[in-house]
């Protein structure tokens, strides 16, 4: 009797396991990359700053469960104060520091370190960044 029970359980396992593997096999990953533009923010009397984020969104679907992750893969700053040689000098150094700060973030968090000597640009950058991040969370 015991041998028959073990054989029956073993036979049932061979029937159930392929079905379980079929469900696990339906895992699907969808990757999209989008650009999200923050609004132009005023950098005091010096001009405007605009931040564009390139966001990679990965959706992993297993059965009815979906897990979504987002990662900022690039930061573009097409508009920044550059109306004087002094502004150009300051922002050629500040903008790369600010963009690097964003790229090293582990979470979608607009709290970044400000760059000394480029306070107005830093605050405007953070303001545009925050709006871009809020928009990126919706995509």
**Number of structural domains in the chain:** 1
pLDDT at 70: 92
CA angle 37, 81, 56 (to 5 degrees): 25
Average pLDDT over residues 17-33: 69
Confidence bin at 46 (pLDDT 50/70/90):
very high
Name the more confident of 105 and 61.
Answer: 61
Which structural domain range is residue 128 located in? 2-136
Q: What is the pLDDT of residue 110?
A: 67
Higher pLDDT, 97 or 15: 97
- Does residue 23 carry a pLDDT above 60? no
pTM for this predicted structure: 0.77
Question: What does the alpha-carbon distance between residue 19 and residue 16 come to, in Å, rounded to a whole number?
Answer: 5
**How many Å apart are CA 56 and CA 3, to the nearest integer?**
55
pLDDT band at 108 (very low <50, low <70, confident <90, very high): confident
**Residue 108 DSSP SS3:** coil
- Report the share of the chain in percent with pLDDT over 70: 81
Give how far the C-alpha of residue 57 lies from the chain's centroid of Cα atoms, to the nearest Å. Answer: 7
Instruction: Output the CA–CA distances (angstroms, integers) from residue 56 to 72, 76, 97, in the order listed.
Output: 6, 15, 22
Question: What's the confidence (pLDDT) of residue 122?
Answer: 95
pLDDT of residue 40 exceeding 50, the answer is yes
Q: What's the confidence (pLDDT) of residue 68?
A: 92
């Amino acid at each position: 009797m015991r041998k028959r029970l073990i054989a029956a359980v073993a036979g049932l396992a061979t029937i159930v396991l392929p079905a379980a593997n079929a469900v696990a096999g339906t895992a699907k990953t969808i990757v999209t990359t989008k650009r999200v533009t923050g609004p132009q923010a005023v950098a005091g009397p010096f001009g405007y700053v605009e931040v564009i984020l390139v966001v990679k969104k990965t959706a992993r679907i297993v059965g009815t469960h979906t897990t979504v992750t987002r990662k900022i893969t690039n930061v573009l700053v097409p508009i920044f104060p550059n109306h004087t040689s002094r502004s150009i000098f300051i922002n050629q150094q500040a903008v790369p520091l600010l963009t690097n700060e964003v790229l090293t973030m582990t979470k979608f968090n607009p709290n970044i370190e400000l760059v000394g000597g480029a306070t107005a640009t830093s605050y405007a950058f953070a303001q545009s960044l925050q709006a871009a991040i809020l928009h990126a969370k919706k995509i």
